[in-house]
Amino acid sequence: MSEKNELKKTAFYDLHVEHGAKMVGFGGYSMPLHYEMGIKQEHLYCRETVGLFDVSHMGQAELIADDYETAARALEKIIPGDVLNLKPERLRYSCLLNEKGGIEDDLMVTHRVQEDGSHIVGLVVNAGRKSHDYAYISAYLPDDVDFKILDDRSLLALQGPDAEKIMAVWCGEAVGMPYMSEIETSFFDVPCRVSRCGYTGEDGFELSLLNDDASRVAKMLMSHPDVELIGLGARDSLRLEAGFCLYGHDIDTTTSPIEADLSWIMNKRRRQEGGFLGDTVILDQVANGPSKRRVGLLPDGPAAPAREGAKLFNEQNQEIGVVTSGGFGPTIGGPVAMGYVTLPHDKLGTQIFVEVRGRKSLWRVTDLPFTPYRTYNAKRPTQH
């Protein structure tokens, strides 16, 4: 591997290796796939107790203008979500769009208040799309909005039913935080941004902190006997059970938010006003329905796991779609999958035949998520 293509390392790389992680390349970074516990047990441990994830490969950035409205309206030109009315210290999930209504990436948006009282827009984007997103967003910004990349920061995710109990030990201000909110605070004596969000379907927090402070905070968290490190393998199975999209698999430049069953990211104002890239295509799909839609799938009896790329057929043996994410759900105790089907095959209970290694097995369209959300206040969780 040439130096140019060498995998990057997060501030936690040595910690991963020290704890026996199997390291793999992901999004241009060397990341832990799993530790000695293994993927299935890490998954179940996060559901039952609390897990610590390194998500520092994600991109953190900010839009800065003389006033918040200028920055918010600039971003609203390329996403369908309502940024203008996002309250201070609150988060929102959305998608970057192209002119055809396709999704360039999904991202988190924050209304952040600075120490000097100024307001800015904070962003978290996917690792594999980081460079693309930075250039893409910058190209659509007016001259009076600056784009700042926060490459001096790391990101930790603490996820699971005991997450608040763990945070209370070092960061009392985190207790009782609303879901999808963010505060500027200290973790023990380390300056930190704490958000109550995550990508597992469980309660949890994400901690954004300077790279120089990252390992110290991670070690403090790991000093608690209930905290276990969790790798990318369990992160993927957790998000699949939660029915969350993975960019490049369940959503991409050829799928719209409506097709991806993400219409809830657009409020009434954005639907009425439009004014974002691809609005003609997307608002037509809102009014008249898309030609395909993302659905959840569960086997109707014993079946092998359906992996990405598995073809989907109707009862007349006509090909109607494809699996985009699939595998074994440890909490479910069996195979789960998501994929796209042509309408009207998206109706709950519809029989779908999934082809795995040349054999077709019967599955049914089901509600998402596969496991009940257990986020704080039991509200619907949203990505990264």
Extents of the domains making up the chain? 13-56+152-241, 291-366
* Rounded Cα gap, residues 102 and 334, in angstroms: 32
Domains 13-56+152-241 and 291-366 share a fold: no
Q: How far is CA 11 from CA 103, 148, 227, 286, in A?
A: 30, 20, 19, 43
Q: Is residue 381's pLDDT more than 60?
A: no
- Residues 212-236 have a mean pLDDT of 98
Q: Which helix (H) or strand (E) holds 371?
A: none
pLDDT value of position 117: 83
Q: Is residue 383's pLDDT more than 80?
A: no
Q: In the predicted model, what is the mean pLDDT of the chain? A: 95
pLDDT value of position 3: 41
* Rounded Cα gap, residues 379 and 225, in angstroms: 29
pLDDT value of position 242: 98
CATH of 291-366 given 2.40.30.110, 3.30.70.2860, 2.160.10.10, 3.40.50.300: 2.40.30.110
Name residue, tokens 């505060």.
Answer: 183
Q: What is the CATH number of domain 13-56+152-241?
A: 3.30.1360.120
Task: Answer whether the bond into residue 369 is a cis peptide, omega within 30°.
Answer: yes
What is the model's pTM? Answer: 0.94
Q: Which two tokens stand for residue 215?
A: 């390992």
pLDDT value of position 376: 85
Q: Which helix (H) or strand (E) holds 366?
A: strand 359-366
**Digit-coded pLDDT (tens) for 176-208:** 999 999 999 999 999 999 999 999 999 999 999
Q: How far is CA 86 from CA 76, 77, 193, 236, in A?
A: 12, 15, 18, 29
**Digit-coded pLDDT (tens) for 310-343:** 999 999 999 999 999 999 999 999 999 999 999 9
